[in-house]
Amino acid sequence: MNIALGFNSEVVDPAFVRSHHPFYNLDGVLGALYTPDDGHVDPSGVTLGLARGARQLGAKIIRQCRATNVQQLPSGEWLVSTEHGDIRCEHVVNAGGTYARQVGDWSGINVPTTSMTHHYFVTETVPEFLQLERELPVIRDDKRVSGYIRMEQKSGLIGIYEKAKPNVVWDDHCPWEAENHLFEADYDRVMPWLENALDRMPIFAELGIKQDVHGAISHPPDGNPLIGPVAEARNYWCCCGTQIGIGWGPGLTRELARWMVHGSADISMRAFDPRRFGSYADKKWQNIKAREDYLLRHEIPFPHFNRLDGRPVKKSPLYDRLKSQGAVFEEIYGHERPRWFATGDEAQRDHYSFRRNIVDERVAEEHRAVRERVGIMDICAFTKVEVSGPDAELLLDRLIANRLPAKQGGICLTHMLNRRGRIEMEMTILNMGEGRYYLTCAAVFEQRLMDHLAHHTAGEAVTITNRSSDWFAMTLQGPRAPEVLAEQVTDSLALADFPWLRGREMEIAGQRVWALRLSYAGEMGWEFHGPRDAMLPLYDALWQSGQPHGIANYGSFAMNTLRMEKMFPGASELTNEVTLPEANVMRFVRSDKDFLGKADSLGQAELPWVCAYLAIEADGIDDGHGGEPVLLDGEVIGSTTSIAMGHSVGRILAFAYIKPAANSPGQQLEVVIANAPRAAVVLGAAAYDPNSERPRGIASAEAAA
Ligand SMILES: Cc1cc2nc3c(=O)[nH]c(=O)nc-3n(C[C@H](O)[C@H](O)[C@H](O)COP(=O)(O)OP(=O)(O)OC[C@H]3O[C@@H](n4cnc5c(N)ncnc54)[C@H](O)[C@@H]3O)c2cc1C
């Protein structure tokens, strides 16, 4: 049983499989995952049932009526032209299946999905099935079959996701007459896996295939469906790109409806939001990624699995430099971001495991370099947006929960909410002076932030400039950072001259950039932001002056372990599922001012859950991966959102949403990691430097005295 989600599943041995499925050849099988509550439905029956329900609730369904165009009117409404006349509407949903991309083209909207074909085969009647009194479980056999095997009435059904030569169709245009088109079976393509399936199910081996089904399925670049608003126009929604439309359809469309009606879904839709792709996701790239996705369908989804095809997309100015220094990159909103650095002869690639491996050792070294010496990181992937103009202050003040920094150079950490009072995103804001504000947040929010600002501008005179691609961002962190930076500047870096949470435009190594004294690592350090051209010379100069101080590169994995020690919640904790009190970020909220979503966020009579910070005993083997159940006296009271080893404190640290009554410092709990409960305790403050003396420079000032 996956107790965190209440999902019925268990790992079982071959004897269990044999007792439930006596016909399966279990050669080489060590175990299986049993999910007894799964089922299958007749798709047309379900569709008709849903249509009937919709009609009962007042929906009008017009069948046999092709839409021929979708255009936005100057009023903002949409005009859908159809074979049976025009329809004017406030909102339009593109649920065009394999036609979705070309339907999007009518309105200038890029719908990143590619049609790939998939086969299943139905055998003649299986004599052994005739006497069966119950249905056999569906078997998914990733390794040998790369597909699924189940009963179809009294026949056998074998579905194959071949692991070579995936087939793209209708790359340019899906013919209108192609609806539900089935292609001729391509036995050559699927044969090795089909043969393996027959080897697994010997009772099928002598039977003929009475039906082959070879149809097209939509694949977005990362395999997740496209559910939600688009970047290019307002009130245009996607509900497409679904490979498992029957399985996913009900939940996803319920959330889409909530999003359209209430302004936010109830669950985090970040993984499905069409705006997770930018304009870089052109047709050529979609095609490459869809093929990759198809081939990964029956692969093991290891933690931090890195999809490598079609990369690099957006290279930072440091890409080649860092690559030559061992960087292993991950892609985030098209940006290549270093995740960790290989050293010596080590293979410069991902090393996958559910347990600790060599990568964790390197991450621990990078972590310690930042804590004990100085580390430098390419953070170009950050979303970087400038809001300027006479009403910039007015607009931002209305949208953020914290107070906007009043003075030039002031910095604040704050949150923007949607109108239901749930968190849209967390960000840092720098007052650049003269009515200019610089907003930075996680890369995945780039389009979301642009839309949020644009949609909530109510006649204010502001200019919103997306600097995410033409500006760089880099960070220098650690107790030796001041000495390293001092060699490249003439300005004073004394604490009194350049205090914590202040930003200043200055010349560093001959480059005019903004330096922001803040730290996601919880150390003395700076972030640098400015035009891209400045990045490489700046990095080279700092790298050079950092040599005597033992400067090291670090990546996003170390950044994560560092922030976990500092009790800084991140994108996994701060989602549209939670309000400000639930996220436990009230210290960044000014309840004496008004802001979008305030009443709903702060007005809850009772919190259903709250974000707790836990320390968990480490076993040196497995540090968890997120989503672990949290137990109090054996009862599930929540689950983790982020979990990571705190390399400086020697304990595993986690954020978890749990029942509020359990969130008191010192409360003993258990967290189930790799199926075994471990002792955990609620912490009331950061595990490392709880008073933030290090980033404020108090620790180094005291050491110097
Ligand atoms: C061989 C095969 C096996 C599969 N097995 C499974 C499975 O076991 N489980 C599962 O969950 N899924 C399975 N799927 C996938 C599933 O069929 C799809 O995910 C699902 O049908 C997608 O639903 P949809 O509503 O997004 O698109 P569709 O079902 O394609 O519906 C889109 C509709 O929009 C209509 N349309 C498009 N353009 C226009 C226009 N201009 N005007 C009017 N109407 C238009 C189309 O005619 C179509 O009816 C399988 C698919 C195939 C091919």
- Contact between 371 and 564 under an 8 Å Cβ cutoff? The reply is no
Residue among 435, 519, 417 at smallest CA distance from 477: 519
- Three-state DSSP at 370 gives helix
Q: Is residue 292 part of a domain?
A: no
Tell me how far apart the alpha carbons of residues 318 and 338 are, in angstroms, rounded to a whole number: 10
CATH assignment of the domain containing 543: 3.30.1360.120
Please compute the mean of the pLDDT values over residues 414-441 and round it to a whole number: 97
**pLDDT tens digits, 368-417:** 999 999 999 999 999 999 999 999 999 999 999 999 999 999 999 999 99
Which two three-digit tokens encode residue 643? Answer: 């979990």
How many CA atoms lie within 13 Å of 147's alpha carbon, on the beta-carbon side?
25
Strand-pair partners of 92: 236
**Same domain (yes/no): 596, 611:** no
What is the DSSP-derived secondary structure letter of residue 181? -
**What is the Å distance from ligand 1's center to 48 Cα?**
14
**Same domain (yes/no): 339, 360:** yes
- Contact between 390 and 340 under an 8 Å Cβ cutoff? The reply is no
pLDDT for position 178? 87
- Three-state DSSP at 158 gives strand
Q: How many CB atoms lie within 10 A of CB 131?
A: 7
Binding site membership of 536 for ligand 1 (Cβ less than 6 Å): no
* Average pLDDT over the chain, rounded to an integer: 96
Check the CA dihedral 375-381-383-388 and report its sign.
Answer: positive
Which two three-digit tokens encode residue 662? Answer: 């359990």
Q: Is residue 553 part of a domain?
A: yes
pTM of the predicted protein model: 0.95
Residue range(s) defining the domain that contains residue 363: 306-380+474-557
pLDDT for position 2? 62
Tell whether the model's pLDDT for residue 624 goes beyond 80: yes
Binding site membership of 244 for ligand 1 (Cβ less than 6 Å): yes
pLDDT for position 38? 85
Binding site membership of 355 for ligand 1 (Cβ less than 6 Å): no
- Three-state DSSP at 562 gives helix
**pLDDT tens digits, 526-542:** 999 999 999 999 999 99
Cα separation values, 434 from 101, 334, 407, 421, 437, Å: 43, 32, 10, 31, 9
Tell me how far apart the alpha carbons of residues 427 and 423 are, in angstroms, rounded to a whole number: 11
| Rg (alpha carbons) of the chain, rounded to whole number | 27
Cα separation values, 623 from 292, 360, 556, 671, Å: 29, 10, 17, 11
- Contact between 425 and 442 under an 8 Å Cβ cutoff? The reply is yes
**Same domain (yes/no): 447, 581:** yes
pLDDT for position 535? 98
Query: How many separate domains does the chain show?
Result: 5
**What is the Å distance from ligand 1's center to 263 Cα?**
27
CATH assignment of the domain containing 404: 3.30.70.1400
Binding site membership of 243 for ligand 1 (Cβ less than 6 Å): yes
**Same domain (yes/no): 16, 34:** yes
**What is the Å distance from ligand 1's center to 437 Cα?**
45
Binding site membership of 444 for ligand 1 (Cβ less than 6 Å): no
**pLDDT tens digits, 516-526:** 999 999 999 99
Q: Whose CA is nearest to atom 38 of ligand 1?
A: 96
Read off the pLDDT band of 698 (50, 70, 90): confident
pLDDT for position 701? 61
Q: Is residue 298 part of a domain?
A: no
**pLDDT tens digits, 166-200:** 999 999 899 998 878 999 999 999 999 999 999 99
Give the lowest-confidence range in 1-10, 54-63, 148-157, 600-609.
Answer: 1-10
Q: Is residue 1 part of a domain?
A: no
CATH assignment of the domain containing 90: 3.50.50.60
Tell whether the model's pLDDT for residue 4 goes beyond 90: no
**Same domain (yes/no): 636, 621:** yes
Place of tokens 């705006």: 275
pLDDT for position 97? 95
Binding site membership of 240 for ligand 1 (Cβ less than 6 Å): yes
pLDDT for position 132? 95
pLDDT for position 623? 96
B/e letters for 505-528, b = 16+ CB within 10 Å, e = fewer, are ebebbebebbbbbbbbbbbbbbbb
Q: Is residue 237 part of a domain?
A: yes
Residue among 557, 133, 568 at smallest CA distance from 357: 557
CATH assignment of the domain containing 167: 3.30.9.10
**Same domain (yes/no): 126, 166:** yes
Tally of helices (H runs) and strands (E runs) in the chain: 18, 33
pLDDT for position 29? 96
Read off the pLDDT band of 11 (50, 70, 90): very high
Tell whether the model's pLDDT for residue 1 goes beyond 60: no
Binding site membership of 245 for ligand 1 (Cβ less than 6 Å): yes
Check the CA dihedral 655-415-554-522 and report its sign.
Answer: negative
679 Cβ neighbours under 8 A, 6+ residues apart:
616, 617, 668, 670
**Same domain (yes/no): 333, 365:** yes
Tell me how far apart the alpha carbons of residues 406 and 702 are, in angstroms, rounded to a whole number: 30
Cα angle 491-494-500, degrees, rounded to a multiple of 5: 105
pLDDT for position 704? 57
Looking at per-residue pLDDT, the higher value among 94 and 9 belongs to: 94
Of 283, 317, 336, which residue constitutes the final position of a domain?
Answer: 283
Binding site membership of 66 for ligand 1 (Cβ less than 6 Å): yes
Cα separation values, 9 from 35, 37, 538, Å: 4, 8, 52
Q: Is residue 696 part of a domain?
A: yes
pLDDT for position 700? 65
Read off the pLDDT band of 7 (50, 70, 90): confident
Tell me how far apart the alpha carbons of residues 222 and 270 are, in angstroms, rounded to a whole number: 13
pLDDT for position 675? 86
Complete DSSP assignment for 268-331? --TTT-GGGS-TT--HHHHHHHHHHHHHHTTS---TT----TT--SB--TTHHHHHHTTEEEEE
Tell whether the model's pLDDT for residue 247 goes beyond 90: no
Q: Is residue 564 part of a domain?
A: no
E strand or H helix that includes residue 236: strand 236-240
AA letter at 352: Y
- Contact between 692 and 525 under an 8 Å Cβ cutoff? The reply is no
Tell me how far apart the alpha carbons of residues 168 and 385 are, in angstroms, rounded to a whole number: 37
**Same domain (yes/no): 387, 524:** no
**Same domain (yes/no): 29, 160:** yes
**What is the Å distance from ligand 1's center to 150 Cα?**
21
**pLDDT tens digits, 262-303:** 989 999 999 999 999 999 999 999 999 999 999 999 999 999
**Same domain (yes/no): 16, 125:** yes
Give percent of the chain with pLDDT exceeding 90: 93
Give percent of the chain with pLDDT exceeding 70: 99
Please compute the mean of the pLDDT values over residues 338-344 and round it to a whole number: 96
Residue among 51, 55, 79, 80 at smallest CA distance from 68: 80
Name the residue of 115, 244, 293 to mutate for ligand 1: max ligand atoms within 8 A of Cβ: 244
Looking at per-residue pLDDT, the higher value among 445 and 1 belongs to: 445
Read off the pLDDT band of 483 (50, 70, 90): very high
Q: Is residue 106 part of a domain?
A: yes
E strand or H helix that includes residue 338: strand 335-341
Complete DSSP assignment for 644-671? EEETTTTEEEEEEEE-GGG-STT-EEEE
**Same domain (yes/no): 436, 486:** no
**Same domain (yes/no): 92, 212:** no
Strand-pair partners of 511: 508
Tell me how far apart the alpha carbons of residues 437 and 386 are, in angstroms, rounded to a whole number: 6
Tell whether the model's pLDDT for residue 703 goes beyond 70: no
Name the residue of 64, 242, 256 to mutate for ligand 1: max ligand atoms within 8 A of Cβ: 242
At residue 484, φ and ψ (nearest 5 deg) are -65, -45
